[in-house]
């Protein structure tokens, strides 16, 4: 390693395919300090680029957008009118929303920080003819770097001298077996040296490395959740409605020459009533409480809005190794040679294992031997471990006073060792090829007496078996309307073998073919949709697969994984799922982190997410309906009758009394859809508008009857209208929470029912005894209750009819709902 070497070029090919500088590097002396400094200036440090955003820039982003603008407008109006209570409440809600946004944005930074920690901190480099240890971030293309057992490779290298190298690239590719390297091969940043020692020339540093490109993909992966889109659409709908009605009131006010400040105060009340100030908070609380339930199922939600995405997943990209499989090599059916028993074949293989420091293959053989009830092995006299040059192990043992040798390794090497030729060799080679085509790796075993010739004992098929729960979980997930795609870096044959065991239907595509030059995104998406999975993928392939499925379609895409290589796709996916035992980088990029082995918990998490979605949809429909009811009713009464139907304090009381039952929506029993669910905003708005108009009709009829027929004092009318809005508004929750009749199962949870009815009773006592409002007594109060209850079944009928008409018109697939207590059906 330290002897003079001929001068060679450091021109190599980085992962993107672009050549590095062609300046020659002398393996005997390396770069000069001056040249290294020049290159450091040219290429930059061997580290991930950081993009710093000032605190002020972040704060501005949090307070920018349609909903923040309206909340800020309401706060400004409150300050102008010196209504400091409203100002404080509105400002607090604005800060809470900003806090949630800050927390979500920090997720991307966490993923990058974890990836940074994976970089090797130091490197042994040759400069000015002297070996020295320097910070890995100071490496430049052209540097000569020494690698030995245990080193984390600090940059992408072209191996230039030395006997052999075996590297563990599992953190990069997710595959369990070490990769053998020789002179001329590439070694990638972030992988670990398991055997051997070699020198290499740096070909790429920082973000140009294989590892760095992965980090860049994580940083650039951006998606806006369907939850965020839904909140914006609801907010925009209510904002446009508010603007229209406020403009109408202002026009009427000017025409009537009414005091401007009184009109402005009413507009403030109307604005505060219309703005969905609590909408993001209530939906976030609903998701947070749901996240606690999912956590009890051994899955941690790291991004709340991903719960809504999880409910709507219709395509799940499942990484094979460690996700669908155990990431643990296992013996298949043994293939002993003629005259050799399976027991003697397995014993010979076990003897040829390194029991002190077993690798993945040794562990598989030893586990098979122990599972078969293997006896104590003879005493070992000598052991030669595996190396990438000889490609076999050899053990010498004393047995019955004789010295016997055993060897296991690559079939071609063992066949050469046994000097097999002709038909016998051809038969073994054909069997090895057959095993390979079926997704198995083959291991050959041989034995020899002292001084004798080597004798072939047979073949050991090795494979990475599916997880015990994988087939059942995938079958259940498919029945829930989720299409599953296997994604793996392995060969197509191995992918087909696992696909067959797990019930996948369709071809296994090669990433090279799928992403061939000239392939359009539409053609790529179409092929993936009709395939069982994709093999031979690199990190950017996984990223592109997710991106292709998301582009131009209505797919909500989930991605499972466990390695660093999965991080970009996990971040880009609508829901990234890191399985148990995943790397820190994968966990940081994921939305859902499983804490129990296997992926069975995903099925339960999806079911719970769909229940959470039903709760959010119920609240959104209720909130829009109530806003429309209040907006239209107050506008009509002031325009038609020139009268404020409720006072400012009544609006405040309504807001307070509504908060508690609204928060209890998070604890409500909810149905579980057997198909993916997502925001159908046209449907939500249609149902909500219908209920809002119904509420307007019933409230306006009540006001007209009290005012024009009974000629009751208007202060009493204001109290009765307040009570009607409170009671009927709360009863509307019973209508919006069910797709059927308001009394259909699943019934409301006791928490929601108790709180809802308690607030109604409290509000009634306020009106009966005149707390902050004009008292109306029990007679009028009970009459209002009877009136509201009479309209309840009518509202429920209208909601059912509107839903059915809408579904018939749009061809919407009507969902079969199962109660919270009923297990998911598997038929």
Catalytic residues: 319
Spatial distance between the Cα atoms of 608 and 673, rounded to a whole number of angstroms: 10
Total residue count of the chain as it appears in this document: 827
Tokens describing residue 352:
């040829």
Tokens 């609380």 correspond to what residue? 285
Closest by CA to 193, choosing from 173, 167, 220, is: 167
CA distances from 93 to 96, 213, 237, 291, 328 (A): 5, 40, 20, 22, 50
Rg, C-alpha atoms of the chain: 35
Residues 6+ apart with CB under 8 A from 263: 249, 250, 253
Find how far residue 244's CA is from the centre of its chain.
Answer: 40
DSSP output for 433-486: HHHHHTT-EEEEEEEEETTS--EEEEEEEEE-PBPTTHHHHHHHHHHTT-EEEE
Spatial distance between the Cα atoms of 310 and 288, rounded to a whole number of angstroms: 14
Is there a contact between 246 and 209 (Cβ–Cβ < 8 Å)? no
Is there a contact between 165 and 198 (Cβ–Cβ < 8 Å)? yes
> What are the backbone dihedrals phi and psi of residue 452, each rounded to the nearest 5 degrees, phi first?
-95, 180
Helices 714-736 and 600-641: crossing angle in degrees, nearest 10, is 160
CA distances from 9 to 28, 154, 463, 659 (A): 13, 20, 40, 71
Which residues does residue 165 pair with via DSSP β-bridges, in sequence order?
Answer: 181, 196
Helix ranges restricted to H, 48-144: 55-62, 66-80, 84-117
Spatial distance between the Cα atoms of 458 and 424, rounded to a whole number of angstroms: 12
Which contiguous run of DSSP H or E holds residue 801?
helix 777-810
Q: What phi-psi label fits residue 672: left (phi over 0), alpha (psi between -120 and 50 degrees) or beta?
A: beta
**CA atoms within 13 Å, Cβ hemisphere of 803:** 20
């Amino acid at each position: 390693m330290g002897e003079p070497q001929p001068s060679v070029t450091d021109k190599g090919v980085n992962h993107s395919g672009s050549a590095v500088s062609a300046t020659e590097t002398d393996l005997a002396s390396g770069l000069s300090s001056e040249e290294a400094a020049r290159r450091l200036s040219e290429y930059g440090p061997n580290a991930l680029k950081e993009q710093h955003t000032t605190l002020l820039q972040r704060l501005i982003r949090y307070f920018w957008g349609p909903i923040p603008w309206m909340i800020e407008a309401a706060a400004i109006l409150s300050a102008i009118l010196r209504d400091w209570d409203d100002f404080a409440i509105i400002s607090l809600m604005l800060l809470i929303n900003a806090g949630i946004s800050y927390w979500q944005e920090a997720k991307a930074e966490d993923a990058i920080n974890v990836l940074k920690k994976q970089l090797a901190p130091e490197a042994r480099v040759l400069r000015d003819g002297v070996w020295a240890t320097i910070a890995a971030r100071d490496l430049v293309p052209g540097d000569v770097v020494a690698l030995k057992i245990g080193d984390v490779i600090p940059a992408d290298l072209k191996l230039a001298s030395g006997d052999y190298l075996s590297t563990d690239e599992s953190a990069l590719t997710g595959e369990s077996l070490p990769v053998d390297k020789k002179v001329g091969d590439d070694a990638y940043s972030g992988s670990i040296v398991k055997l051997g020692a070699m020198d290499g020339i740096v070909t790429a540093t920082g973000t140009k490395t294989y590892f760095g490109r992965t980090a860049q993909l994580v940083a650039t992966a951006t998606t806006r959740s369907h939850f965020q889109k839904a909140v914006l659409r609801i907010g925009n709908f209510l904002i446009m409605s508010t603007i229209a009605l406020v403009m109408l009131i202002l026009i009427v006010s000017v025409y009537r020459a009414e005091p401007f400040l009184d009109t402005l105060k009413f507009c403030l009340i109307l604005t505060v009533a219309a703005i969905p100030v609590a909408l993001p908070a209530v939906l976030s609380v609903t998701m947070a409480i749901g996240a606690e339930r999912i956590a009890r199922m051994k899955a941690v939600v790291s991004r709340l809005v991903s719960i809504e995405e999880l409910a709507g997943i219709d395509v799940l990209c499942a990484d094979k190794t460690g996700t669908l499989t155990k990431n643990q090599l296992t013996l298949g059916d043994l293939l002993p040679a003629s005259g050799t028993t399976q027991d003697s074949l397995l014993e010979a293989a076990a003897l040829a294992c390194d029991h002190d420091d077993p690798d993945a293959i040794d562990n598989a053989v030893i586990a098979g031997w122990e599972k078969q009830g293997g006896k104590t092995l003879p005493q070992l006299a000598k052991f030669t471990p595996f190396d990438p040059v000889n490609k076999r192990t050899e053990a010498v043992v004393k047995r019955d006073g004789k010295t016997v040798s055993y060897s296991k390794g690559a079939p071609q090497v063992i066949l050469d060792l046994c000097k097999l030729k002709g038909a016998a060799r051809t038969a073994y080679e054909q069997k090895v090829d057959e095993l390979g085509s079926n997704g198995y790796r083959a291991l050959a075993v041989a034995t020899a007496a002292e001084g004798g010739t080597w004798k072939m004992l047979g073949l050991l098929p090795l494979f990475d078996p599916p997880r015990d729960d994988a087939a059942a979980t995938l079958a259940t997930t498919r029945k829930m309307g989720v299409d599953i795609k296997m994604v793996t870096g392995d060969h197509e044959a191995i992918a087909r073998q696992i696909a067959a065991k797990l019930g996948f239907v369709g071809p296994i595509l090669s990433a090279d073919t799928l992403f061939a030059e000239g392939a359009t995104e539409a053609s790529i998406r179409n092929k993936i949709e009709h395939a069982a999975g994709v093999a031979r993928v690199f990190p950017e392939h996984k990223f592109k697969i997710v991106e292709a499925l998301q582009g131009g379609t209505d797919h909500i895409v989930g991605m499972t994984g466990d390695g660093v290589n999965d991080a970009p796709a996990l971040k880009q996916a609508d829901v990234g799922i890191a399985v148990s035992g995943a790397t820190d980088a994968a966990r940081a990029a994921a939305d859902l982190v499983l804490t129990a082995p296997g992926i069975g918990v995903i099925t339960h998490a999806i079911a719970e997410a769909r229940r959470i979605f039903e709760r959010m949809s119920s609240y959104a429909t209720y909130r829009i309906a109530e806003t429309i009811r209040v907006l239209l009713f107050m506008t009509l009464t002031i325009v038609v009758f020139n009268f404020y139907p409720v006072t400012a304090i009544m609006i405040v009381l309504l807001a307070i009394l509504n908060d508690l039952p609204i928060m209890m929506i998070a604890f409500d029993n909810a149905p579980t859809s057997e198909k993916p669910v997502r925001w159908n905003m046209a449907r939500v708005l249609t149902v909500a508008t219908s209920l809002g108009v119904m509420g307007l009709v019933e409230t306006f009829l009540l006001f007209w009857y009290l005012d024009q027929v009974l000629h009751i004092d208007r202060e009493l009318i204001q109290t009765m209208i307040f009570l009607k809005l409170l009671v009927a508004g709360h009863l509307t929750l019973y209508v919006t929470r069910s797709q059927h009749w308001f009394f259909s199962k699943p019934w409301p949870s006791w928490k929601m029912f108790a709180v809802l009815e308690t607030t109604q009773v409290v509000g009634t006592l306020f009106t009966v005894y005149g707390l902050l409002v004009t008292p109306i007594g029990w007679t009028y109060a009970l009459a209002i209750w009877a009136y509201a209850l009479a309209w309840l079944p009518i509202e429920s009928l209208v909601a059912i009819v509107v839903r059915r008409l809408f579904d018939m018109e749009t061809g919407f697939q009507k969902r079969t709902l199962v109660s919270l207590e009923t297990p998911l059906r598997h038929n």
